[in-house]
A and B are shown apart, each in its own frame.
Chain A
Amino acid sequence: MGRTYPVHEIEQLKKGEGEVIWADGCLAILKALLESGVAYLGGYPGAPVSNLTDAFLDAEERILKPMGIFVANNVNEAAAAAMLRFSVNAPLRGAVAWKVVGTNVAADAFAHVCSSGVQGGAVIFVGEDYAASSTLVVQKTLPYGYNFGAPVLDPKADLNHVAQLTRLAFELSETCRMPVLFLVRTRVGNMKGWLKVKDNLQPKFNLHHRLPELQLEPDRFPIPPFTQKQEQEKWHQRIPFAKSFIHQNGINERYDNGGRKGIIVHGLLFNVALRALMRLGEVEVRQRDLVATHAQIANAPKDAISLLQHPVPAPQPPIRDLQSQVPDFQSPVPNTQSLSFGIPLLSLHALFPLVEDELAEFLEGKDEVLIVEEGEPALIEREIRAIAQQIGWNGQIVRSEFLPTTGELTTDIVTEGISKFLSNSNVFVSVSRPVPRVPLDERLPVVPRFPNFCTGCPERPAVLTALKIFRELCPEARFEVVLDIGCYIMGIYYLRDLVSPVTGMGTCLASSLASSFLSQERTIYIVGDGTFWAQALTTSISNALYHKQDCIVLILENFWTAMTGHQPNPSTQIGEHAGNLDIEGTLKGMGAKWVKVVNPYEVGEVVKLLEEAWQLSEIGPRFLIVRGECMLERSRRERKEREQLRVVGKRVIEAHFGVDPLICVGDHSCLHYNNCPSLSVRPSPNPLKRDMIVKAEQTCVACGLCGSVAHAAKLCPSFYRVEWVQNPSFWERLKFKLRRWLIGI
């Protein structure tokens, strides 16, 4: 598989105490996991934590296996959540990762684990994507924390803080016996920077030295009468323990030099607010201190780190005798000591549970507090209002007055909001140039850029080309296209009026069951192999076979979980798990009557099979497995292989497609059927032709679709395939010379 992390970045994970590494957010998390002595890792890939899954897999052979850490590539989030149950019965630490909507899939298993309570630390790294830059629905994780009683941590955009909070998360989890939800926002997971690291810690029990005995206790089983006991324990013991841990360790930071107005932020909004306050002149960075504190980083005493003025001692929660393999908690990089705030700031990094005392203290003596909270439901705001009411605070809490309550809070937006809050007016004193110096011509077509299927993608021929030709070939055939979640969902941009809305991972065929019986339109369902195994098999396919739903199912088997960056899935043909599962055999075993396999690049064949399947409406679901490896993955690998062969003098063929510029008439039909990124347009070299003709870019990977579309859709003869040979044989060279001499090629 394609590596996300080069070897030299993975090698950094071996570094120890006091050394500095350069990493992105996800690699920093993995390093902190190793420092925390984690015994098992898992998850299901999805932006913005797909990098974390990549890091697990990329480090598996080099780092994790030698340390005895077990890495699972779980088939879905429910499997990953359920795996955490190990920490219920074993004093071993585990971590899994999934994206925010994955929590929906995991929720059932997760609820049970939360009820039982863990003894080994369990942390879930949740890809929080409120901006929905790579998520279909907008959703926050925090409500899940409330729902299950699981603490929610939210780091700054500062890798040192990310790593520190990761280490703390395990301690917190063990202190309160709850799994911890750790938010990894897009701009944290994808952030690059430096961090100071500690020594790795091998888990006491591991792959090489297995745990001799599980601690199986009936009272951990969520079933009456234990269920109610667990519920009581959760809210009356575990959560209070969590609060005191959060408080004692100064997870929430307070910067308060006194003042009548205050600001409360959370997570990376700390960085955002800091930049905003710097721009507004409300914070001073004492440069001398900044440098001076450098020396203190390594040896800061433990109690110096609490930024709260008067830490309230809390009772030590009784921890079951857990072998503490945790390294000493070390201070955060005390760079914040160099800050001098003109306005009090409370930066929350444990969003649930909130510590009432901390908030009460912050509110005290202030008239007005602005809560900079991202999105709805604004549970932090509500909670703080409740606390204010409880303590009989008379000040004002504001949020929606100055900041948008939905959408991403960028530095510019927060600067404007804070500025208005401080000046108590709706006038925003601009601190930077908000508009371009020269007004841009509004007619300038800064057109939106929709994503597309990659060059040579094996899914495009099925999703776009074959369906378009099929529709034109059989205009009487009426159908909806149901796209599941995967790269192929981009079909929405090209099949607009044919597509019904997506209902979540693997559920989409099930979403059209009623429609299949009540509407005249039939269903063509498109699903990839990763989604097939993750959820579609059980939720959609078995449901359809059971009800004999009249539908055609296109299974795009490209052997990789491509959309999230080429993680292996059960269909992957490379690696130790290759060949363990088989889609065709599975379907036949389930009783499917019509299962065919087709090469997507032979688009005429795909159309023919679609026509055949269309006729067989009485037999229930018809399955067409469109089998072709993800081209991105394949061409990366093959390019490398070709290069290796070329160097040692072996015969290597390279190929491209091209368009003859004087033959292309410019009707753009090929773009209509085959919207390949490597097909572009250019002015015709023939000055008599004013229109744009098609050209093939050098990015072409010669998948052959252009040729097969030209045949299947009867397009113009301007496409050609050119093939050249490195290190040709003697005869080949001779033949070529002869041709050159005779026909002048």
Chain B
Amino acid sequence: MMDRVVKEMKSLTTPITVLVAAVGGQGGQLFSQWLFDAAREAGFCPTGVGLPGLSQREGATVYYLEFFAEPEATFLFSPFPEKGRVQILVGLELLELLRAVRDGYLAEDGIIIGSTHRVLTTDEKLPISGKFVTAEQVLPILQKQAKECIAFDAVQAAALAGLSERAANAILFGALASSGVLPFPIEAFRKAIEHYGVAVSFNLRAFEFGLRYRDWLPQLRNFDDFATQEWESLPEPRLPAQLLRKLEALSADDELTSILHQAAKWLCHYQDARYFGRYLECVEMVYERDEGRGTRDELLVTKEVARILAMRMAYEDAIRVAQLKTQRQRFERIRKEHQIGKETVYKVVDFFSPDWDELTGLLPFGRTMDTQKVTWDKGQGSQETKKDELPKLPSQSEEFKRAALQMKIETSSLMGYLLLNVLQLLKPLRPYSHRFKKEWAAINEWLEAVKRAIDKDYDLAFLVARSGELVRGYGRTRRKTLALWRTFMAFLKALEKQGVKVSEVVDLGEQFLALAMSGPEGAEKAWKFAKEKSDEMSG
């Protein structure tokens, strides 16, 4: 590699060309400064231009460098990178790397060295079912574009090295140095960091780690994140034999088995094995109708119901929050995530703002509900609505004016911990609470709707099953999403009433769900869509 570049450099007028693409705030400027200084240390004569743009604020930034063999040749510098003529493309962020490749800067025998770390754009963050550019998607493309492609998640590498995220660019700089892509001795890179004098000892540590990238790269792939560790450390459920048999009977294929096992873990932790028994009953009822339906016996509806029902049943209330906030594993995860040493003194403060509904919801109200009794038609709409009209979403301004208790609790203190733990004592009483009754009424509405739909049309049933996931969140989000789900059902009903073909109903329903999941303002958009469509149909 080095030979090739050096051979090219024999021509004094042909520079080595490097493009550095980054996101503002990532240290792209520092990186290109180091690169500039390393070239000087190595006896080259660098020139370059930076387009920091709105670099302090997450804009895209680009730095272009040309390294000449002789100082007299630098007047030949081109202030613009040229398409197909950049020999080394460095990316501190995956999307920006991809952007530079898409713009066609890379030379045919060009080399890519970059971090696959993602700094998500706002538009990528907002959709609830966020789909964004990932390394799995992009790496094969980059590898095809470049003669050589060295890419890894430098931020994860920093975590592996026990350093903060700010070490990412120095780690990448180290990898660039040791890759031999540039005809500079490693000492030149090291001196560049020392020369510029920004957090020298920290950056040198990261640099030395980056130099050994070949050693730890395999480790990086297995580097697990702490949140997943927390999930995995939840206690495994202990189920009575009768439930195990039932679970066995329902385990039609691997996917369903896995969903049921995860649900067992989640629900037993949430309440108890009995509660999971109740879950299995509900799944069973759908399963019976689903078996043999669908095109390839995939039990699509059952799987979707099984997955979503587990989350709906483990609805988040104060007891649940207190339970999750005081777990031992949580403190361990926080410590690791923020790189707090084992012996370091630390504390954790939590922010709660339960409203009146959430607090009174814990009070007992009547007996536990029988799963079969509440049906869709008797469902309690969030607001009274005229017949044939879509249920309205709760008014935002009223929601804001609703009384709420604003609390900051230091969970790591004895008092805070005790306070939250006392809440957990209420867990056995949960099935007698008002909130439980309301949640189950809504769950039953949904299950009923699925069952009725499955008799009518399989695609419709799958759609209705999926819609159960709309309902989520705490307090006002919960009220809004529940109202939205009711809107969804009323919308479907209205369409059917108008005599719209089932396939078309499914199609419109899909669009509604996609809008609803498109972001925090999705509910309003979906509601508007339903309103327009049903007005169109009736008018």
Please list the residues of chain A having a beta carbon within 8 angstroms of any beta carbon in chain B: 6, 8, 20, 22, 133-134, 156-158, 160-161, 186-188, 190-194, 268, 271-272, 274-275, 278, 285, 287, 290-291, 293-294, 333, 335-336, 338, 410-412, 415, 432-438, 440-441, 444-455, 469, 472-475, 487, 490, 493-494, 562, 565, 632, 656, 658, 660-663, 665-669, 671-672, 675, 677, 679-682, 685-692, 695, 697-699, 706-707, 710-711, 713-717, 719-726, 728, 732-733, 736, 738-739, 742-745
Indicate whether B538 reaches chain A with its CB closer than 8 angstroms.
no
Are A717 and B54 interface neighbours, CB within 8 A?
Answer: no
Are B79 and A473 interface neighbours, CB within 8 A?
Answer: no
Indicate whether B316 reaches chain A with its CB closer than 8 angstroms.
yes
Q: Give the residues in chain A near B339, CB-CB below 8 Å.
A: 698
Indicate whether B84 reaches chain A with its CB closer than 8 angstroms.
yes
Indicate whether B144 reaches chain A with its CB closer than 8 angstroms.
yes
Are A728 and B519 interface neighbours, CB within 8 A?
Answer: no
Of A188, A449, A742, which contacts B60 at CB under 8 A?
Answer: A449
Of B13, B85, B316, B396, which contacts A663 at CB under 8 A?
Answer: B316
Of B45, B227, B258, B337, which contacts A685 at CB under 8 A?
Answer: B227
Of A565, A679, A716, which contacts B474 at CB under 8 A?
Answer: A716
Are A447 and B473 interface neighbours, CB within 8 A?
Answer: no
Q: Give the residues in chain B near A291, CB-CB below 8 Å.
A: 12, 70, 72
Stretch at the interface among B122-130, B286-294, B485-493: B122-130
Are B473 and A667 interface neighbours, CB within 8 A?
Answer: yes
B residues 188-235 touching A (CB-CB < 8 Å): 195-198, 225, 227-228, 230-231
The CA-CA distance from A723 to B334 in the complex, in Å, is 11
* Binary flags per residue of B94-107, CB closer than 8 Å to A gives 1, else 0: 01101101101011
The CA-CA distance from A290 to B141 in the complex, in Å, is 41
Q: Give the residues in chain B near A190, CB-CB below 8 Å.
A: 49-52
Of A415, A710, A742, which contacts B351 at CB under 8 A?
Answer: A710
Name 19 interchain pairs, CB-CB below 8 A, sorted by A. A133-B51, A157-B78, A191-B47, A192-B36, A192-B47, A271-B76, A333-B72, A437-B108, A444-B133, A493-B122, A632-B56, A680-B125, A687-B258, A689-B311, A707-B349, A716-B316, A717-B354, A724-B344, A739-B414
Are B231 and A685 interface neighbours, CB within 8 A?
Answer: yes
State how many angstroms separate the Cβ of A435 from the closest Cβ of chain B. 6
Of A6, A661, A699, which contacts B227 at CB under 8 A?
Answer: A661
Are A691 and B51 interface neighbours, CB within 8 A?
Answer: no
Q: Give the residues in chain A near B350, CB-CB below 8 Å.
A: 717, 719-721
State how many angstroms separate the Cβ of B48 from the closest Cβ of chain A. 5
B residues 250-265 touching A (CB-CB < 8 Å): 258-259, 262-263
Indicate whether B476 reaches chain A with its CB closer than 8 angstroms.
yes
Are B262 and A157 interface neighbours, CB within 8 A?
Answer: no
List 7 additional A-B contacts (Cβ < 8 Å) besides A8-B195, A671-B520, A742-B414: A333-B75, A440-B141, A445-B133, A452-B57, A681-B120, A685-B230, A720-B350
Indicate whether B247 reaches chain A with its CB closer than 8 angstroms.
no
- Work out how many contacts link A and B, with CB atoms closer than 8 A: 388
The CA-CA distance from A715 to B358 in the complex, in Å, is 13
Q: Give the residues in chain B near A487, CB-CB below 8 Å.
A: 57
Indicate whether B58 reaches chain A with its CB closer than 8 angstroms.
yes
B residues 465-484 touching A (CB-CB < 8 Å): 469, 472-477, 481
Are A454 and B80 interface neighbours, CB within 8 A?
Answer: no
Q: Give the residues in chain B near A690, CB-CB below 8 Å.
A: 129, 307, 469
Indicate whether B387 reaches chain A with its CB closer than 8 angstroms.
no
Are B108 and A688 interface neighbours, CB within 8 A?
Answer: no
Are B126 and A672 interface neighbours, CB within 8 A?
Answer: yes
Q: Give the residues in chain A near B326, CB-CB below 8 Å.
A: 743
Q: Is the interface of B mostly helix, strand, loop or mixed?
A: mixed
The CA-CA distance from A733 to B343 in the complex, in Å, is 9
Are A193 and B77 interface neighbours, CB within 8 A?
Answer: yes
Are B396 and A473 interface neighbours, CB within 8 A?
Answer: yes
Of A275, A293, A665, A680, which contacts B76 at CB under 8 A?
Answer: A275
Of A441, A447, A717, which contacts B141 at CB under 8 A?
Answer: A441
Closest chain B residue, CB of each to CB of A187? B79
Are B346 and A723 interface neighbours, CB within 8 A?
Answer: yes
Of A192, A682, A733, A742, which contacts B46 at CB under 8 A?
Answer: A192
The CA-CA distance from A713 to B408 in the complex, in Å, is 15
Are B49 and A187 interface neighbours, CB within 8 A?
Answer: yes
Q: Give the residues in chain A near B340, CB-CB below 8 Å.
A: 722, 724
Stretch at the interface among B1-9, B398-406, B441-449, B529-537: B398-406
Q: Give the residues in chain A near B58, CB-CB below 8 Å.
A: 449, 451-452, 454, 677
Are A691 and B57 interface neighbours, CB within 8 A?
Answer: no
Indicate whether B324 reaches chain A with its CB closer than 8 angstroms.
yes
Q: Give the residues in chain A near B56, CB-CB below 8 Å.
A: 454, 562, 565, 632
* Binary flags per residue of B1-43, CB closer than 8 Å to A gives 1, else 0: 0000000000111000000000111000000000010001000
Are B145 and A720 interface neighbours, CB within 8 A?
Answer: no
Of B76, B145, B263, which contacts A438 at CB under 8 A?
Answer: B145
The CA-CA distance from A736 to B346 in the complex, in Å, is 8
B residues 128-159 touching A (CB-CB < 8 Å): 128-130, 132-133, 137-138, 141, 144-145
Q: Give the residues in chain B near A412, CB-CB below 8 Å.
A: 80, 82-83
The CA-CA distance from A440 to B145 in the complex, in Å, is 9
Are A714 and B49 interface neighbours, CB within 8 A?
Answer: no
The CA-CA distance from A679 to B119 in the complex, in Å, is 10
The CA-CA distance from A384 to B520 in the complex, in Å, is 58
Are B51 and A338 interface neighbours, CB within 8 A?
Answer: no
Are A272 and B59 interface neighbours, CB within 8 A?
Answer: no
Closest chain A residue, CB of each to CB of B40? A22
State how many angstroms separate the Cβ of B418 from the closest Cβ of chain A. 9
Instruction: Known A194-B71, A432-B84, A632-B56; judge A278-B13 contact (CB<8 A).
Output: yes
Are A714 and B108 interface neighbours, CB within 8 A?
Answer: no
State how many angstroms separate the Cβ of B320 from the closest Cβ of chain A. 8
B residues 266-319 touching A (CB-CB < 8 Å): 266, 307, 310-311, 316
Are B345 and A724 interface neighbours, CB within 8 A?
Answer: yes
State how many angstroms separate the Cβ of A744 from the closest Cβ of chain B. 5
* Binary flags per residue of B345-374, CB closer than 8 Å to A gives 1, else 0: 111111111110000000000000000000
The CA-CA distance from A744 to B412 in the complex, in Å, is 9
Are A451 and B59 interface neighbours, CB within 8 A?
Answer: yes
Are A697 and B165 interface neighbours, CB within 8 A?
Answer: yes
Q: Give the residues in chain A near B259, CB-CB below 8 Å.
A: 688
Closest chain A residue, CB of each to CB of B11? A287
The CA-CA distance from A647 to B124 in the complex, in Å, is 41
State how many angstroms separate the Cβ of A197 from the closest Cβ of chain B. 14
Indicate whether B242 reaches chain A with its CB closer than 8 angstroms.
no
Closest chain B residue, CB of each to CB of A673? B520
Closest chain A residue, CB of each to CB of B398? A473
Of B73, B127, B141, B345, which contacts A732 at CB under 8 A?
Answer: B345
The CA-CA distance from A235 to B359 in the complex, in Å, is 83
State how many angstroms separate the Cβ of A652 from the closest Cβ of chain B. 11
Instruction: Known A335-B72, A688-B310, A717-B353; judge A451-B24 contact (CB<8 A).
Output: yes
Indicate whether B74 reaches chain A with its CB closer than 8 angstroms.
yes
Q: 8 nearest interchain CB pairs?
A: A672-B520, A433-B84, A692-B130, A661-B227, A724-B346, A187-B79, A451-B54, A685-B231
Q: Give the residues in chain B near A665, CB-CB below 8 Å.
A: 316, 472-474, 477
Q: Give the residues in chain A near B101, CB-CB below 8 Å.
A: 436, 440
State how many angstroms separate the Cβ of A288 from the closest Cβ of chain B. 10
The CA-CA distance from A8 to B192 in the complex, in Å, is 13
The CA-CA distance from A695 to B165 in the complex, in Å, is 14
Q: Give the residues in chain B near A721, CB-CB below 8 Å.
A: 348-351
State how many angstroms separate the Cβ of B190 from the closest Cβ of chain A. 17
Of B75, B196, B474, B477, which contacts A336 at CB under 8 A?
Answer: B75
State how many angstroms separate the Cβ of A155 from the closest Cβ of chain B. 11
Closest chain A residue, CB of each to CB of B12? A287
Q: Give the residues in chain B near A660, CB-CB below 8 Å.
A: 324-325, 330
Are B266 and A688 interface neighbours, CB within 8 A?
Answer: yes
The CA-CA distance from A561 to B11 in the complex, in Å, is 46
The CA-CA distance from A430 to B338 in the complex, in Å, is 52
Q: Give the residues in chain B near A432, CB-CB below 8 Å.
A: 82-85
Indicate whether B413 reaches chain A with its CB closer than 8 angstroms.
yes
Q: Give the residues in chain A near B133, CB-CB below 8 Å.
A: 444-447
